[in-house]
Amino acid sequence: MKTPRELAQDLLTPAGITLNGPNPWDPQIHDDVLFERLFSQGVIAVGEGYMEGLWDVADLPNMVARVINAQQMWELLSLKTIPLALSVLRSKLFNLQSSKRAFEVGEKHYDIGNDIYERMLDKRLTYSCGYWSSPQGGAKTLEEAQEAKLDLICRKIGLKKGDRILDIGCGWGSFAIYAAEKYGASVVGVTVSVEQAALARERAKGLPVEIRVQDYREISDGPFDHVVSIGMFEHVGPKNYRSFMQLVRRLLKKDGLFLLHTIGARTTYTAPDPWIDKYIFPNGMLPSAEQVMIAANEVFLLEDWHNFGTDYDKTLMAWFANFDARWPEISEKYGQRFYRMWTFYLKSMAGVFRAHDASLWQIVLSPRGVDGGYTSIR
C-alpha cells in the first residue's frame, strides 16, 4: 500500500511537480504530517500547511497554475473527506450570503486593519483587478492600471457631470472619489465594512460622495442614473443572484446602465473554496457565466461582456510586492502566521488566474436596450 506522501506525488506528477525537487515550482516538504492531513481533511490542508510552515515553494503561482493546467485541481478538490461533504451540504441547505451574514466578510476581512491595505494597494486603495492591457498602450505600474480601470468604468457607462451613481460595494471609495473628481458625478457608496467606510468618508471630504455602512438589500432611494458594482458580486451568493439583479433594476433609471465587475469561475461550483472561505472571504462564491445570465434574464439586456482575467495575475503580484516590501512596518502587529496566510492568498490566486481557471468580467447591462445601440469601450 502506498504511503500518503507517495499518493500525493502521484497527484502532482502529471503537473510536472516533484516533491522536494530542484525546480522553483517544486514544493519543499518540511513535515510529512502534511500528507496525512491532505487525505483526511482535504485540500484545505495545503493552505493550512503553508501557514504553519510545513512546506514552502519558491514559485507558488507557477506551482498552482501547473496543478490546474494538468487538471489535477479537480483530483485535489474531489478528495472524499468529511469536511468537504459538510461544506457542500451547508451550501445546499443554507443561504450563506443572507442578510444576517452580510456583515461577516466585512468584519473578518475588510476590517482587519486599514494599515495592511494602505501598504498593499495603490494610492486610491482600489481592491479589485487593475486594467493593464488597455489598447491605448497598457499600464506600466499598479497606479496606472487602477486609474485605467476606474476610467474604463466611467467611459463604459457614459458617465457625465451631474449624474447620480450608486456604487454597491464601494470599498475605500476609490471609484466614488474618482467619478466625483474626474467626471463631476455624485455618488452613493455602500459597504459592509465599518473600517472601509470611516476611511472612505475621510478621503471623500468636500466631494459629492455619500458613504454608507449598509447591506445592499436595504438600499431603497433610487432611481440612479447608473449603478456599478466592482468586486462585490463575489459575496452575493447563488441563492441571491436573481434578487440582486432585480434590486439593481428597481434602483436604476430606465435609460441607465449597470456595470458589473466581478471575478468569474470557469464552472458552476456547489461550495466555496474551503481555505478561502475559512481564512480570507467567509461565505464567498464565484459566479459562473451561466449563473450571471440566468439571474439577469428578463431583467436586463446584455450590452457588453469584457474579460481581462489575465490582468488579475499582474494585479495580485503587484499587491504582493507592495505587501512584502512594507511588511516590516506591521510585522510585529500581525505576526508570521498572518504573513504566510496572506502570501498564500495572493500568490495562489495569481496562479489561478495565470491558469485561466478564473476570469475577470466587466459586464454592461441595460433595462431595455440603448437607443442607437451600445458601443463597446476598451
pLDDT at 83: 56
- Domains defined along the chain, listed by start: 4-80 (no CATH), 102-366 (3.40.50.150)
Residue by residue, pLDDT tens for the chain (378 residues) are 899 999 999 999 999 999 999 999 999 999 999 999 998 888 899 999 999 999 999 999 999 999 999 886 555 655 555 555 555 555 565 565 667 666 787 788 999 999 999 999 999 999 999 999 888 788 999 999 999 999 999 999 999 999 999 999 999 999 999 999 999 999 999 999 999 999 999 999 999 999 999 999 999 998 999 999 999 999 999 999 999 999 999 999 999 999 999 999 999 987 788 899 999 999 899 999 999 999 999 999 999 999 999 999 999 999 999 999 999 999 999 999 999 999 999 999 999 999 999 999 999 999 999 999 999 999
* Pairwise CA distance, residues 142 & 122, whole Å: 6
Is residue 346 within 8 A of residue 312, CB to CB? The reply is: no
What's the distance, CA 119 to chain centroid? 18
pLDDT at 97: 66
pLDDT at 326: 98
Closest CA to 169 of 310, 263, 294, 279: 263
Is residue 316 within 8 A of residue 130, CB to CB? The reply is: no
pLDDT at 93: 52
Instruction: Give the contacts of 29 (CB within 8 A, at least 6 positions apart).
Output: 5, 19, 20, 54, 55
pLDDT at 137: 80
Phi/psi for 47 (5° steps) reads -65, -40
Is residue 270 within 8 A of residue 91, CB to CB? The reply is: yes
Closest CA to 45 of 1, 4, 13, 10: 4
In terms of phi and psi (left: phi > 0; alpha: psi -120 to 50; beta: otherwise), the region of 368 is: alpha
The DSSP call for residue 106 is I
Number of CB atoms found within 10 A of residue 143's CB: 16
Alpha helices (H) in the chain, listed in sequence order = 4-12, 33-41, 44-51, 60-69, 73-77, 82-93, 104-105, 114-120, 142-156, 174-183, 194-203, 241-251, 274-279, 289-296, 310-326, 331-354
pLDDT at 272: 83
* Pairwise CA distance, residues 2 & 9, whole Å: 10
Long-range contacts, stretch 72-79, CB < 8 angstroms, 24+ apart:
72/11, 72/12, 72/14, 72/15, 73/357, 75/11, 76/11, 76/42, 76/43, 76/46, 77/42, 77/43, 79/38, 79/39, 79/42, 79/43
